[in-house]
Amino acid sequence: MKPFLAHIISNLRLTLRERTVFFFNYGFPLGFFFLFATLGKAKENNTIAATLTSVLTIGLLSNGFFGGGLRAVSERENGILRRFKVAPPGALPILISGLVVGVLQYLPVVLLMLAISVAQYGMAWPANWLSFFAFVVVAILAMRSIGSIIAAVANSMAESQIIIQCLYFPMMLLSGATVPISILPEWAQELVQFIPATHLVSGLQGILLRQESLIDNWKPVLALLVTSVACTMISLKVFRWEKGEKLPPRAKVWVLAVLAPFFVIGAWNLQSKENLLKTKMLDRELARRQNVLIQNARIITGTGEVIESGAILIREGKIEKIYVGKAPEAKKLNAFEVEAAGKTVIPGLIDAHVHLGAPGGFYDDPKKYQDQKLTEKRLKAYLFSGVTTVKSTGDWVDSVLALRDKQARGEMLAAELYAVGPLFTAPGGHPTQALQYLPPNMKAMGEAQFVRIPKDEADARQMVRDLKQKGVDGIKAVLESGTEKSPMKRLDEKILAAICAEARLAGLKTVVHTTRAADVKSALDAGADGVEHGSPSEPLPDPLLTAMASKGLYYDPTLSVYEAERMIADRDFSRLDDSLLQQAVPRDLLQSTLKTLKGWQSASEYRVDMKIVKANFKRVFDAGVKVVSGSDAGNPLVFHGPTMQQELELYVAAGVSAKDAIAASTRNAAGLLGQSRRIGTIEVGKDANIVVIDGDPLRDIKSLSRISLVYLRGERVGRAGLLKDEEN
């Protein structure tokens, strides 16, 4: 132990005597720190954690390659190592002392920059601060040990500098430390997974931004530890005391051999895409941290209040403050200013009834009906159109849950998704008739993924518990007896009551598909939270309306789907000319849908009386029933994306005020989702799901289609590239 301590003390003394050490270990990193923080506007962007990660990574590379590798070559050439040649127990104390001194040398500057980040730039102290410092120590040991290999194989200072530059600059430039990985070409993003520094950046950002622990980053930590041990052992074998000692040229391959753990991790990431996905999630986290002041806007809060001229301050993805009138200067608030004079800010719209698995039209290519990428694009189309939240009320459950979780993790930029389903129904009831046309294998899968057919009340309760365990966000049941020409079996009302009761125990809201007044009454009596479609073709009795209002039942009229049926029957395809629709929906789908519908011989079965539909809806609204907006997108001519614009236009055409129509798609819809504390209105503390509109939708509801900006949890959505970039 004494030789090790002696070498550590001796090495530390030599280090403290060198002025260049203070410059490169303290002055140089601090200079970069303030430069990056200033150029990147760390306060306004709230990206100080990313700045700290970048500078620490550059410092770790410098400490290892220059402080460890170059210095060791210099000491050999200057004859310093020769003095220790005869001292037992050989080279090991020298190598160990280099590692220890590297840690002691660099930790103070890490602590200093961390303190400045917290005190000066408002960064939160790392929740897992032990993991943070432990990760830094492991990284120092790995980089210093790689530096010792460089020192061992380099025959001169000039040669060592060439080797160092060949390693240092690619690691600095391609790891995400200086250039974001997300802006690199896809092939380059895959290539950089083999670079050790990439894992330094993702590990540090994960700990600082996502409160990850050392265990969460076990693969890069293990690779760094293996590298430290392997490099130290190899350095011990090829260690050279004097300048004149020669090393066989083949020994230089050890520089590549020590990177083997990272080649293994790189190969794993290439196959699993794990680190690429983590990079996307970290980028999303950074984007949501930007501080924004939306100034001089008309603000429809969704609570009933309208601020004619005000401002909204967004910080950390939340609404921090709402100003009536002029707000302080953005610079004083450390925020970017968005000028919104003449514009209107509304809460992000919510579509509470969609079917993502269906396109809303017809494809020429049958394979496209099963293309998961197109399903993802539909979810993106909602965000493009200012609909920040959607609720699936009937899709294949495993697929929609996977899509929901992918969006929630930040792997893709799209509208927030809530998954309700599968659909509880009776044997032979709606929508089982749709499954009869599928091939046997697809039919069996559809029965497992799309519907639930309970035998009795106990079976129904168990199915609800199983779905809760599976992770669904709500329950949907079907009450429909069909028509005289096409009768259907109706779900037993006792089974429906059991479903609603068990869902309530599980903390899940239940909605019921209805088509007649009797269905609505049965759903209300069973304890449902909401009804879908309601009673589109027959009036609801006044006593039932009163009961619906008093019990707080949500009513989703889905006027868009009935308007689409009317258009198909009348061969009115003017909906396809809508500008926002043409931007959000793939051109080939619009063209093939138009061709298909024009080829239909008869559409009389789709004819509905929209006057009756609108009158019934208005009666429900006037009775004080809570109306929630859903489009039933996925049905013919109800395309995914700008669904709420059409739905709310129909509300206004039915006689509802624009303010109340917007409330149905914001505050009320959030209530049905059980998310009123987080979304649905513009209030302090809520998620910054915000849409900026050109014009005033209170005067002209059609202005909802004139979208200027969309923010999702504080992240400004790049609408121009949203639907083009499949990897977003």
Helix (H, G, I), strand (E, B) or coil at 90: coil
Residue 262: its pLDDT value, please? 65
Q: Are residues 321 and 179 in the same domain?
A: no
Asked if 557 and 653 touch (Cβ cutoff 8 Å), the reply is: no
Closest CA to 521 of 533, 534, 509: 534
- The mean pLDDT value for 240-256 works out to 65
CA–CA separation, 62 and 99 (whole Å): 14
Residue 336, both tokens: 């970017």
- pLDDT over threshold 90, residue 701: yes
Residue 20: its pLDDT value, please? 59
Sequence-separated (6 or more) residues with CB below 8 Å from residue 115: none
- pLDDT over threshold 70, residue 186: yes
Higher pLDDT among residues 458 and 186, named by residue = 458
Read off the amino acid at residue 424.
Answer: F
Residue-wise pLDDT for 605-659, tens only, equals 556 789 899 999 999 999 999 999 999 999 999 999 999 999 999 999 999 999 9
Domains in the chain: how many in total? 2
- Alpha-helical segments (H) within 340-476: 372-384, 397-408, 432-435, 440-449, 457-470
- The mean pLDDT value for 221-231 works out to 83
- pLDDT over threshold 70, residue 664: yes
Higher pLDDT among residues 121 and 309, named by residue = 309
- pLDDT over threshold 70, residue 513: yes
Residue 57, both tokens: 């990574």
Q: In the chain, pLDDT over 90 holds for what percent of residues?
A: 52
Residue 70, both tokens: 């170059």
- Whether 421 is in a domain gets the answer no
Residue 259: its pLDDT value, please? 62
CA–CA separation, 500 and 517 (whole Å): 19
- Whether 377 is in a domain gets the answer no
User: 391-416: buried (b, 16+ CB within 10 Å) or exposed (e) per residue?
Assistant: bbbbbbbebbbebbebbeebbbbbbb
CA–CA separation, 56 and 132 (whole Å): 12
CA–CA separation, 285 and 406 (whole Å): 14
Instruction: Report residue 155's pLDDT band, with 50, 70 and 90 as the boundaries.
Output: confident
Long-range CB pairs of 480-489 (<8 Å, 24+ gap) are 480/429, 480/430, 480/513, 480/514, 480/515, 480/519, 481/516, 481/519, 482/430, 488/426, 488/428, 488/429, 488/430, 488/433, 489/426, 489/427, 489/428, 489/429
Q: Are residues 283 and 296 in the same domain?
A: no
Q: Are residues 331 and 248 in the same domain?
A: no
| Helices 129-153/92-121 angle, 10° precision | 140
- pLDDT over threshold 60, residue 88: no
Instruction: Report residue 278's pLDDT band, with 50, 70 and 90 as the boundaries.
Output: confident
Residue 99: its pLDDT value, please? 79
Residue 256: its pLDDT value, please? 62
- pLDDT over threshold 80, residue 120: yes
Q: Are residues 44 and 168 in the same domain?
A: yes
Residue-wise pLDDT for 198-208, tens only, equals 888 888 988 99
- The mean pLDDT value for 270-275 works out to 70
Q: Is 210 exposed, middle or buried (0-12, 13-18, 19+ CB in 10 A)?
A: middle
Residue-wise pLDDT for 547-594, tens only, equals 999 999 999 999 999 999 999 988 899 999 999 999 999 999 999 999
Higher pLDDT among residues 434 and 366, named by residue = 366
Asked if 376 and 412 touch (Cβ cutoff 8 Å), the reply is: yes
Least-confidence region, from 279-288, 463-472, 507-516, 654-663:
279-288
CA–CA separation, 119 and 114 (whole Å): 9
- pLDDT over threshold 60, residue 7: no
- The mean pLDDT value for 414-435 works out to 91
Residue 151: its pLDDT value, please? 79
Q: Are residues 146 and 12 in the same domain?
A: yes
Among 259, 287, 315, residue at a domain's last position: 287
Q: Are residues 37 and 95 in the same domain?
A: yes
Q: Are residues 317 and 279 in the same domain?
A: no
Q: In the chain, pLDDT over 70 holds for what percent of residues?
A: 88
* Residue pointed to by tokens 């302080």: 328
Task: Provide the mean pLDDT of the chain.
Answer: 87
Q: Is 237 exposed, middle or buried (0-12, 13-18, 19+ CB in 10 A)?
A: exposed
- The mean pLDDT value for 256-265 works out to 66
- pLDDT over threshold 80, residue 87: no
- Whether 315 is in a domain gets the answer yes
The model carries a pTM of: 0.84
Cis ω before 487 (30° cut-off from 0) = no
- pLDDT over threshold 80, residue 324: yes
Residue 726: its pLDDT value, please? 45
- Whether 696 is in a domain gets the answer no
CA–CA separation, 44 and 716 (whole Å): 14
- Whether 123 is in a domain gets the answer yes
Sequence-separated (6 or more) residues with CB below 8 Å from residue 271: none
CA distances from 377 to 278, 299, 384, 393, 416 (A): 21, 30, 10, 18, 13
HSE-CB of 414 using CA atoms within 13 angstroms: 32
Asked if 97 and 10 touch (Cβ cutoff 8 Å), the reply is: yes
- pLDDT over threshold 70, residue 249: no
Cis ω before 431 (30° cut-off from 0) = yes
Residue 653, both tokens: 């055409």
Residue 84: its pLDDT value, please? 62
Sequence-separated (6 or more) residues with CB below 8 Å from residue 424: 451, 452, 453, 454, 460, 463, 475, 476, 477, 478, 491, 495, 496, 499
Structural domain including 320 reads: 292-346
Residue 728: its pLDDT value, please? 43
Q: Are residues 69 and 131 in the same domain?
A: yes
Residue 333, both tokens: 């608030």
CA–CA separation, 638 and 650 (whole Å): 13
Residue 111: its pLDDT value, please? 93
Q: Are residues 303 and 279 in the same domain?
A: no
Q: Are residues 249 and 301 in the same domain?
A: no
- Whether 508 is in a domain gets the answer no
In terms of average pLDDT, the best of 16-25, 434-443, 674-683 is 674-683
Closest CA to 423 of 354, 513, 350: 513
Sequence-separated (6 or more) residues with CB below 8 Å from residue 674: 509
Residue 282, both tokens: 């970290």
Distance spanning both ends of the chain, measured CA to CA: 55
Among 287, 312, 331, residue at a domain's last position: 287
Residue 247: its pLDDT value, please? 67
Residue 331, both tokens: 């610079």
- pLDDT over threshold 90, residue 435: no
Q: What is the CATH number of the domain that holds 308?
A: 2.30.40.10
Residue 288: its pLDDT value, please? 86
Q: Are residues 315 and 264 in the same domain?
A: no
- The mean pLDDT value for 214-227 works out to 85
CA–CA separation, 162 and 150 (whole Å): 10
- pLDDT over threshold 50, residue 103: yes
Among 305, 323, 346, residue at a domain's last position: 346
In terms of average pLDDT, the best of 181-185, 286-290, 395-399 is 395-399
CA–CA separation, 231 and 492 (whole Å): 71
- The mean pLDDT value for 262-278 works out to 71
- Whether 484 is in a domain gets the answer no
> CA torsion angle for 633, 703, 658, 353 (degrees, to 10)?
10
- Between CA 349 and CA 355, with CA 350 as vertex, the angle to 5 degrees is 135
Q: Is 189 exposed, middle or buried (0-12, 13-18, 19+ CB in 10 A)?
A: buried
Q: Is 436 exposed, middle or buried (0-12, 13-18, 19+ CB in 10 A)?
A: exposed
- The mean pLDDT value for 412-432 works out to 93
- Whether 336 is in a domain gets the answer yes
Residue 727: its pLDDT value, please? 41
- The mean pLDDT value for 60-72 works out to 77
Q: Are residues 282 and 314 in the same domain?
A: no
